[in-house]
Amino acid sequence: MMNREWPCLVWGTVKLGRTTQLRTPLHTLPTDTEAEHLVRQMIALGIHAFDTAPAYGCSEHRLGSASDQHISISTKVGETHENGMSQFDFSAEGVKQSLARSKERLQREQLELVYLHASDNDLEVLEHTEAWSTLLQAKDAGVISHLGLSGKSPAAARWALDHHADALMVPWNQQDESHTEILDEAAARKVKIFVKKGLNSGQLSAAASLQWMLEDPRIHAVVVGSLNLDHMRENLEVAKATRPNQC
């Protein structure tokens, strides 16, 4: 169980490290210098929680180089992205190697929150690979503090709830409420819900959508990805107005 509260607005950093196979409009990858400056600007703005993944290209490395230890960072295992293509490895050895790489890139002795970055067949991955059990072992060994699932289907989310998940990252917005029952079950079990795709890849109004999501007590935090500092400042203002004690 995650006892500590995260800030209710989490900066999603996929655009910080990759440009291919994204549903959002095309963008130019920041240089290393631009990326470092942007990370420090986000921190100065008051955004103190970041979400990353090996599948986000060089995002982990860039966050590790520019952020300090008081920033909460979640990462993932299971998927990598190289040469414009995603690859998946849910083997025990693959998960262990991924955790070791993330610790080195993020410059952390312990990873605070690690999600299984599941593919479209997420329930099959949970039931028939070694990935989840390996993450549980890593938690017992102190390599990670908390584990969660970043999946696709309510069925996979329910499986994770039944198998010691501390957190779930689920798609949720005003056009997709398919995880409604999962939000109810997670709240009853005190499992934290982190929302992804809350703005439906930029198709929904940020201010109205953020307020709608953060007014829901079942939702712990919302992950929003943007390289635009002004947009993130506006998002943070909405988050603070809606949940002044958490953001």
Q: Is pLDDT of 20 > 90?
A: no
Q: Is pLDDT of 197 > 80?
A: yes
Kindly report the number of other CB atoms within 10 A of residue 186's CB atom.
24
- pLDDT grade for 22, boundaries at 50, 70 and 90: confident
CATH code, domain carrying 161:
3.20.20.100
Whole-number pLDDT of residue 124:
98
Query: What are the pLDDT digits (tens) for 126-165?
Result: 999 999 999 999 999 999 999 999 999 999 999 999 999 9
Whole-number pLDDT of residue 67:
87
Spatial separation of the C-alpha atoms in residues 36 and 167, rounded to whole Å: 28
Overall pTM > 0.85: yes
Confirm whether 224 is domain-assigned. Answer: yes
- pLDDT grade for 25, boundaries at 50, 70 and 90: confident
Q: Is pLDDT of 23 > 80?
A: no
More confident of the two residues 6 and 69: 6
Q: Is pLDDT of 175 > 90?
A: yes
Confirm whether 247 is domain-assigned. Answer: no
The number of folded domains in the chain is 1
Whole-number pLDDT of residue 3:
81
The mean pLDDT value of the chain amounts to 96
Burial pattern 3-28, b for ≥16 Cβ within 10 A else e, equals eeebbbbbbbbbbbbbeeeeeeeeee
Quote the domain boundaries for residue 118: 9-242
More confident of the two residues 20 and 48: 48
Whole-number pLDDT of residue 26:
83
Whole-number pLDDT of residue 182:
98
Displacement of CA 193 from its chain's centroid (Å): 11
- pLDDT grade for 64, boundaries at 50, 70 and 90: very high
Whole-number pLDDT of residue 58:
96
- What DSSP letter does each residue of 168-194 carry, written as one string? EEEE-BTTB-TTHHHHHHHHHHTPEEE
Write the CA distances from 105 to 21, 53, 93, 108, 181, integer angstroms. Answer: 23, 11, 18, 8, 36
* Sequence-separated (6 or more) residues with CB below 8 Å from residue 234: 206, 207
Confirm whether 2 is domain-assigned. Answer: no
Query: What are the pLDDT digits (tens) for 201-211?
Result: 888 899 999 99
Confirm whether 39 is domain-assigned. Answer: yes
Spatial separation of the C-alpha atoms in residues 27 and 54, rounded to whole Å: 19
Whole-number pLDDT of residue 76:
98
Residue 133 has phi, psi (to 5 degrees) of: -65, -35
Spatial separation of the C-alpha atoms in residues 231 and 26, rounded to whole Å: 17
Confirm whether 57 is domain-assigned. Answer: yes
Q: Is pLDDT of 83 > 80?
A: yes
